[in-house]
Structures are given as structure tokens and as C-alpha cells.
Amino acid sequence: MRNLLLSLVPFLLMCLILLSCQGMTTGEADNEFVQNRGAGMDDWFSQPPSPSWKQFKKAPQGQAWFEVYRIRPGIFAIHEPGHFELVISYLIVGTQRSLLFDTGLGIGDMKGVISELTDHDPIVLNSHTHYDHVGGNHSFRTIYGAATEFTRTNARGKSHDEVAGFVSEGWIRRRTPEGFSSDTYRIEPFSVGRTVADGDQIDLGDRTLEVLLTPGHTPDSLCLLDRANRLLFTGDTFYPEALYAHFEGANVGQYTDSARRLAGLVDQIDWLLPAHMEPWLPSQYLVRMRDAFEVIQGGSASFILTDGNRQYSFEGFSIIVPDRPGDNVSLH
């Protein structure tokens, strides 16, 4: 028996080492490939996919780059799990019209996927116009967008030089589709045919989506509220990872205001459908996000510095804001 216990010692030691490593946080994201995205993101590809995907059935479609899940009748999550962003676009199919909330990275053929899921030529509306949400915009005819300068600038597309880093080594972990080349990757320009305002209702026939302008992550960030079904498509305003309030165009004060507004709707919403990581989260996160921003605004919360920004950690997510030495009270 004693021999057995002794022989277990190296194994137990190994377990202890592994456990303590898991709890470790690094101050800097030391992956030379993925920078400025928060601590610990360097091993994004070794993290298991979130278990919440398992409750949904995959919808058959022909492209290995995408994984499409049927979230609810008429709601498809179109996931790109082979890329660091783990971005999710949503197709919402109505009896009269369909709406595509984001078009992904532009690596796979988003238009091709959509044609396998609906006969409609969908209205495209972007949760915001960062590169990973507008990559397929150019192939669709009807594009709605926010009326901001940020949107107009991004609608001009992004040159290869501007986005080459996002398809470089360390960012992609799945065979890319034939025809794609990281040497020529760019974001094609697109034209916004109609602007949306706060409170606008988009009628799909059996479903109405309400536009909520929620600036903060970007000036043109917006959420879609499906009141009748108690769902909120949150875009990048909330997902269960590092929330970015540190990129160019982000505004921590506006983000805080948007978080407050969304938390005020929590009694009318059951589920959140975010644009990254996971397609289905309880709405209580809206309250946690508001509380988190208020704690940050309070100025006394602890943070780590990661790539020169402050990263504040909370249960189930974190928030990255610019570091402003000597000014940790007002982040407006």
C-alpha cells in the first residue's frame, strides 16, 4: 500500500503543478502573434469550445470553414471557430424577410452559406463595422448601417496591409477555404443603403427586431432586441471574454451608459446572443456588465496591465480599457 502511495507521488505533484499553472495570470499577452487582446489569449486555440454549443443542433451546409447551429426556430448562429476571433454571425429568418446580423471575417463564402439556409436575399445589418463582422458585406445587396463617421470610414473596406496581421501565424487554426489566401486577404468595400436609428423596428413578418444603438465598443455598436421572444443580439457589446473598450473609436463613458441602458432591460430579456465565443447566455450578464463598468468608473478596482492597457477581471468576462496613468477615476 505504501509503495502504491509512493508511486503516486510524482503523479500528484504533476497534478499540483498543472493546477497552479491554470490559476496563473500573466501580465502581458506574450504571444508574439496575438497582441493587444488581453492576457492569456496566446493559447486561444487550446481552449475547449464552450459547452453551450453542445445544446444546439448543427445545420447542414457545405463549407468546412463554418459551423452553423440552429439556435431557435428561424435563428441560425454562423460560427467561424478556426479563427482567433471565434466570431458568430446570426441569420434570422422571417416569413417575409430575413436579416443577417454580421457577415463574418470574409474568409469563407458567407453568401453561399446563407443561400443554403434561406431563399431570401437577406437584409444585412452589422453589430458594428470592425473587420471581423463585415467581411462578407460586399456580396450582399441590401445593407443597413448606423449613421456614423466610423461606419462610413469602414465601409470603404480595409487594405491588405491593414488586416494582414489578423490572418497571420497564430490567428488561424483550421484549413482555410480554397481560393482564400492570407497574402491577399482584405476587406472589400460595401455600401450602406439605409441608415438605422435608435428604436427602428425591422419587420421580418413573424418577427420584429428593434434596433438599440449601444455605442462604446465602437461608435456604431448596436444590439437587436426581439421583444416578443425575449432575446437580445448583443454584438460585441457583450460576450463572455475580454470586452474591448481600448481600441480606437471605443469610449468607456459611452460603453458604461450603454451597459446601464441594457441592464435596465434585463427583466424583458431572457437570453443574450453575442457575436463571439458563445451563442446563448443568460441575460443576467447585462447586470454584471453594468456593475463591472461602474466598478471601473469608481476608480478603485484592481487591474493588470496587458499590452499597455488595463484589464479588469470579473466573473465570466473581463474589460480592457486604455491605461491613463494618474487618472483612474474618470474614464469618460
Q: One symbol per residue from 289 to 318: x for binding Zn ion (CB under 5 A), - otherwise; what is it?
A: ------------------------------
Task: Give which of 197, 322, 329, 225 is closest to 283, Cα–Cα.
Answer: 225
Q: How many residues sit close enough to Zn ion to count as binding (CB under 5 A)?
A: 2
Helices 284-298 and 252-263 cross at an angle (nearest 10°) of: 140
Q: Which 226-265 residues touch Zn ion, going by CB under 5 A? A: 236
Q: Cα separations (Å) of 55 from 62, 65, 67, 83?
A: 22, 21, 14, 22
Cβ closest to Zn ion, residue 130 vs residue 246? 130
CB of 130 to Zn ion, least distance (A): 3
Distance CA 322, CA 287 (A): 23
Residue number with the smallest Cβ distance to Zn ion: 130
Closer to Zn ion at the Cβ: 220 or 236? 236
Q: Which residues, 120 to 179, sit near Zn ion by CB under 5 A?
A: 130
Q: What minimum distance in Å lies between the beta carbon of 17 and Zn ion?
A: 36
Residue 165 CB, nearest distance to Zn ion (Å)?
15
Cβ-contact 146, 213 below 8 angstroms = yes
User: According to the binding rule CB under 5 A, does residue 276 interact with Zn ion?
Assistant: no
DSSP character at residue 87:
B
If the CB atoms of residues 98 and 137 are measured against Zn ion, the closer one turns out to be: 137
Long-range CB pairs of 211-215, under 8 A, 24+ apart, other chains included:
211/125, 212/261, 212/262, 213/146, 214/258, 214/261, 214/262, 215/251, 215/254, 215/255, 215/258
Least distance from Zn ion to the Cβ atom of residue 277, Å: 13
Judged by beta carbon, residue 131 or residue 180, the one nearer Zn ion is 131
Nearest distance in Å: CB 313, Zn ion: 20
Binding region for Zn ion (CB under 5 A):
130, 236
